Amino acid sequence: MNEPSLVPFGPMRPAAHVGRKRRATRRRRPRPTIDIRIDCPLWDKERDAKALLRRAINAAASAAASSGGEVSVVLADDAAVRKLNRTWRHRDAPTNVLSFPAHAARGDGQQPRFLGDIVIAYETAAREAGSARKSLAQHLAHLAVHGFLHLVGYDHQTDDEAAAMERIETLILARLDVPDPYRAQGSAADL
């Protein structure tokens, strides 16, 4: 008479990987799709701007555990950003970066397909980079990271929010070999 098997799914077989290290399989989150439009000819001389923006946003998406989605980036001038700032924030002045989150319904637990828009002003960004004695590329990376974090829910309205946003920005920028932008400056509330 045959004894019943104690292994519910058939006879036990020796594992083929015993004694060998298994390669850790790390699932990669889908990267966001990034559409970049240059609306100001001053950005044309920054030949690596698009590649830098993609690297910065992908690094921010990875650190913020954002999965996929689409992001639109517009490289504009101060006049265009001033108009947007006046219309949407009621501040009649240019600023370095504006973010417009999509705010889509998330009832199914998924992020919206379109995350939002980031608009960066050339003259303000270049002036700030010069004042801080850093390259425009470093400042552009920071503005892209900062703008993306706003799209996925980070903010700096309170001191605690600003401190949390500064911490994650600093970590992301370090991965991009960009020095800590807050070391000898103000806080995220200044951006």
Domain covering 33-190, topology: Collagenase (Catalytic Domain) (3.40.390)
Torsion of CA 166, 169, 173, 174, to 10 degrees: 60
Q: Say if residue 186 is exposed, middle or buried (CB neighbours under 10 Å; 0-12, 13-18, 19+).
A: exposed
**pLDDT, tens digit (0-9, with 9 covering 90-100), for 8-51:** 333 333 444 444 444 554 556 678 999 999 999 999 999 999 99
Domain ranges of the chain: 33-190
Average pLDDT over residues 136-142: 97
The per-residue pLDDT of the chain, averaged, comes to 83
pLDDT at residue 185 is higher than 80:
no
H/E stretch holding 159? helix 159-175
- pLDDT tens-digit map of 73-117: 999 999 999 999 999 999 999 999 999 999 754 545 555 589 999
